[in-house]
C-alpha cells in the first residue's frame, strides 16, 4: 500500500546541553510541518527561500535518500510544502528537522517498503531513518531527538549512528533565549581549537556522565555543577553579543544552569517548575539591554517526528 500525500510534524532540538558536545540532544516544543505530495508535473517546493527550492533542498535530499534505501524510485513529480516555527541558523535544529521530515514522509507514503527495509536491517523504523539522514547531516545529536523525541545520547561507530533515550525529571523545563541574528554552524565550528588537553577531555567526560543522572533525578545542585563545558562554549560565547548579560539575568532569576543551544546563538536556561512564568520574567529582564531578542518557554517534546495527516 502507498499513499499520495502526507504531512509530518517535527520538533526543534537542542544539541550538546553543555558538556555533551556533538552527542547529547533534546527535542523541544517548537515545530515545523512538512507536506509531501506525489502530484503535478515537476518538483515544486514552497515555504522556503527560492535558492533552496530545488534538488538541494534538505527535505528532498532525505526523501530521495530514503526512497533509495527502500529500493524505490523517487517520484518525478513532488510538491513539498514547508512551514513552522523553528528559526533557521539559530541552534534549534532547523536542518535536522527538515531532514527528518523528508525521510519520515517517504516512509509514511510507502509504509510497506519502509517496514521491509527496517526489518531487513534489524532496527526500528526511526533507527533506519537516523541511518539514512545522518550522512547528510554529518552528526546525530540533533537528528536523534528530532526523530525519537525526548533527550538522547548518540554516537557513530564505523559510520553507523546509535542512540539511546535518557529520561529527564518532569519538573525540569527549558526556556530559550533566541537572538535576532543568525549564526552559521560553519562559523561556530571554525572558532573551536583543533586539539584539546587531556584535562579538558576528562572534565567534559566526567561532567557529561554525571549530568545525565542528575537530569534523571532532578537534582538541581548536581545539575548546576555538571552542566558545564570546556570544549565548545568558551569559544562560542564570544560570537554571541550580550551572552554574559543574558546568562547572569537568568541565573539571578533562579535558573539552575545556562548554556548555548547547539552551535548558537540561541541559549537555554534550565529551570525547575513553571517555565512560563520564568520566561516572562526573563523576557522583561532581557528587554532592558537587547529588545530584539525573544524569550520562549520550550517544554521537552516526547513524541518526536510524527505524521499528522496521510491521504
Is the pLDDT at 1 greater than 60? The verdict is no
Query: How many whole angstroms separate alpha carbon 56 and alpha carbon 54?
Result: 5
158 DSSP 8-state letter = T
* Least confident stretch, 12-16, 56-60, 184-188: 184-188
What DSSP line would sit under 173-239, residue for residue?
EEEEEE-SS---HHHHHHTS-S---HHHHHHHHHHHHHHHHHHHHT-HHHHHHHS--SSSHHHHGGG
Closest CA to 183 of 266, 96, 89, 259: 89
Average pLDDT value for residue range 229-238: 96
Q: Would you state the cell numbers that stand for residue 24, as one nine-digit string?
A: 547529547
For residues 282 and 269, the answer to whether their CB atoms sit within 8 Å is yes
Query: How many residues are present in the chain?
Result: 311
pLDDT at 50: 85
299 DSSP 8-state letter = P
Interior/surface letters 212-225, b for 16+ CB within 10 angstroms, e for the rest: bebbeeebbebbbe
Is the pLDDT at 240 greater than 90? The verdict is yes
Q: Would you state the cell numbers that stand for residue 215, as one nine-digit string?
A: 537530569
Is the pLDDT at 114 greater than 90? The verdict is yes
Q: What's 5-166+301-310's CATH class?
A: alpha beta
Is the pLDDT at 242 greater than 80? The verdict is yes
pLDDT at 76: 84
For residues 310 and 108, the answer to whether their CB atoms sit within 8 Å is yes
Residue located via cell numbers 540533533:
142
Q: How confident is the model at residue 78 (pLDDT cuts 50, 70, 90)?
A: very high
Higher pLDDT among residues 171 and 1, named by residue:
171
pLDDT at 186: 87
Distances from the Cα of 264 to the Cα of 12, 160, 223, 235, 295, angstroms: 13, 26, 21, 11, 14
Query: How many whole angstroms separate alpha carbon 276 and alpha carbon 261?
Result: 19
What tens digit of pLDDT does each residue of 216-233 get?
A: 999 999 999 999 999 999
pLDDT at 58: 97
Q: What's 172-298's CATH class?
A: alpha beta
Name the average pLDDT for the chain: 95
pTM of the model: 0.95
- Percent pLDDT > 90 in the chain is 89
- Percent pLDDT > 70 in the chain is 99
Distances from the Cα of 151 to the Cα of 14, 130, 162, angstroms: 9, 15, 14
Amino acid at each position: 500500500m502507498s499513499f499520495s500525500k502526507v504531512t509530518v510534524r517535527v520538533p526543534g532540538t537542542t544539541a550538546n546541553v553543555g558538556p555533551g558536545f556533538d552527542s547529547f540532544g533534546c527535542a523541544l516544543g517548537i515545530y515545523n510541518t512538512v507536506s509531501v505530495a506525489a502530484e503535478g508535473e515537476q518538483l515544486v517546493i514552497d515555504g522556503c527561500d527560492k535558492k533552496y527550492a530545488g534538488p538541494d533542498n534538505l527535505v528532498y535530499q532525505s526523501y530521495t535518500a530514503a526512497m533509495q534505501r527502500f529500493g524505490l524510485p523517487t517520484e518525478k513529480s513532488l510538491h513539498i510544502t514547508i512551514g513552522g516555527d523553528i528559526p533557521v541558523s539559530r541552534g534549534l535544529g532547523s536542518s535536522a528537522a527538515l531532514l527528518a521530515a523528508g525521510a519520515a514522509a517517504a516512509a509514511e507514503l510507502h509504509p510497506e517498503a519502509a517496514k521491509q527495509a527496517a526489518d531487513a536491517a534489524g532496527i526500528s523504523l526511526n533507527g533506519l531513518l537516523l541511518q539514512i539522514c545522518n550522512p547528510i547531516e554529518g552528526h546525530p545529536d540533533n537528528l536523534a531527538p528530532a526523530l525519537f523525541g525526548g533527550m538522547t545520547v548518540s554516537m557513530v561507530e564505523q559510520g553507523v549512528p546509535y542512540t539511546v533515550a535518557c529520561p529527564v525529571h518532569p519538573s525540569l523545563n527549558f526556556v530559550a533565549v533566541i537572538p535576532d541574528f543568525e549564526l552559521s554552524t560553519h562559523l561556530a565550528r571554525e572558532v573551536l581549537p583543533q586539539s584539546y588537553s587531556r584535562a579538558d577531555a576528562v572534565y567534559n567526560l566526567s561532567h557529561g556522565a554525571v549530568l545525565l543522572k542528575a537530569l534523571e533525578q532532578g537534582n538541581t545542585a548536581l545539575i548546576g555543577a555538571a552542566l558545564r563545558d570546556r570544549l565548545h562554549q568558551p569559544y562560542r560565547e564570544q560570537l554571541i553579543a550580550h551572552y554574559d548579560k543574558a546568562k547572569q539575568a537568568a541565573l539571578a532569576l533562579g535558573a539552575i544552569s545556562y548554556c548555548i543551544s547547539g552551535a548558537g546563538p540561541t541559549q537555554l536556561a534550565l529551570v525547575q517548575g513553571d517555565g512560563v512564568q520564568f520566561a516572562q520574567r526573563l523576557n522583561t529582564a532581557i528587554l532592558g539591554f537587547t529588545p530584539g531578542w525573544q524569550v520562549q518557554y520550550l517544554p521537552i517534546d516526547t513524541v518526536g517526528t510524527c505524521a499528522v495527516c496521510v491521504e
